[in-house]
Amino acid sequence: MAIRAIVHVFATAGVLLLLARLVPGIAVAGLYPAFIVALVWGLLGLTIRPILSLLMLPINLLTFGLFSFVLNALLFWFVASFIEGFSVAGFVPALIGSLALAAVSYVVHRLF
């Protein structure tokens, strides 16, 4: 279980560094902020995201689940607001970043 969490953090940090190069509007100052963001993103996924998903269930049902993408993008943008060395310039880069992190999380979950 611990190996899976470590692989997940490393994969998330790697994707963040890749996103900083590919997506205009996402900036990561280096490896250390990428690991901090990966850890905070994982902690948000364990604690706050389930609570918000439950609170936003009616909107999610009305949009056939598409609001969950908006919620992930807003959380990604929120993480960028308080971690020094990581910035997101708007909603569209946040949406792209959260989609990429969700895809990597899915792949890591399926492999490990």
Q: Which domain holds residue 46?
A: 2-111
| pLDDT confidence tier of residue 1, bands split at 50, 70 and 90 | confident
Those residues whose C-beta lies under 8 Å from the C-beta of residue 19, and which sit 6 or more positions away, are 26, 28, 96, 97, 100
- pTM comes to 0.91
Convert the pLDDT of each residue in 24-34 to its tens digit.
999 999 999 99
**DSSP secondary structure code for residue 83 in this structure:** S
**Is residue 93 within 8 Å of 26, Cβ to Cβ?**
yes
- Number of domains, the chain: 1
Reported as a single tens digit per residue, the pLDDT across 32-64 is 999 999 999 999 999 999 999 999 999 999 999
Q: What mean pLDDT comes out for the span 3-12?
A: 93
pLDDT in tens, 67-96: 999 999 999 999 999 999 999 999 999 999
pLDDT at residue 64, rounded to an integer: 95
**Does residue 96 contact residue 70 with C-beta atoms inside 8 Å?**
no
Q: In a 10 Å sphere around its CB, with 0-12 CB exposed, 13-18 middle and 19+ buried, how is residue 20 labelled?
A: buried
